[in-house]
Structure 1
């Protein structure tokens, strides 16, 4: 019913020493190549896992900061882990910075005119 090819009666020929050396060299090269690839993939996954474990969550909650009387917010910005708030206090510009993770004050920059 099915067509089957006739069996091959030729005996397998033994490899010459040169052919065996080439095969051993190829297997060694393939093994080293595979080892390097596995180490590279493991390093990438290791860095991803490390950063996921070390990542700190962003602070959630509320923070109330008192502004001087008559001050108004003229601008806000976020740069990396810093929140920047620009204030106009009676005609004087002031910049206040806060740590985005903890919402703690990080600094204050005041501008004044030269006399």
Structure 2
């Protein structure tokens, strides 16, 4: 059992070259799209980053007789627990801008 290998004729050579060229074009385009996606993601993160917030110099005023019981940070919020005249109040502030975000008062039932 011997097989004879013949050289491909010019038509077959041109057909194989066209297929290889098409596969290389597809591989090149896929690679180019992947690289472009990476650069787009990097650019998006660079231009959309908030960076460091400016340093805020603020003075918060408390009601007369109020006492700070506890402070804490939860995510991007600063939480301050106050005791005002026997009742407890929780005030939240945006940690970046220090603007008030909410207030929660606790009262005893009569």
Normalising by structure 2, we get a TM-score of: 0.70
Structure 1 segments unaligned to the other structure (5+ residues): 1-12
**Cα gap change, 1:48 to 1:65, in 2 (>3 Å):** same
Distance change (3 Å), C-alpha of 1:64 and 1:109: same
1:21 to 15, 24, 33: 15
Check the 8 A contact 2:91/2:102 in 1, yes or no.
yes
Give 1:93 deviation, angstroms.
2.6
Query: Which residue does 1:87 correspond to in 2?
Result: 82
The match for 2:3 is none
Task: Find the counterpart in structure 2 of residue 102 from structure 1.
Answer: 97
Aligned partner of 2:26 in structure 1 is 32
C-alpha deviation, 1:16, in angstroms: 4.2
Whole-angstrom distance in 1 between the partners of 2:29 and 2:91? 53
Shift of 1:76: 0.9
Pairwise CA distance, 1:27 = 2.3
How high is the TM-score relative to the length of structure 1?
0.68
Calculate the aligned-residue CA RMSD, in Å: 2.4
C-alpha separation in 2, matches of 1:89 and 1:14: 95
CA contact (8 A) 2:88 2:106 kept: yes
Q: Find the counterpart in structure 2 of residue 8 from structure 1.
A: none
Count of aligned pairs between the two proteins: 102
Unaligned runs of 5+ in 2: 1-6
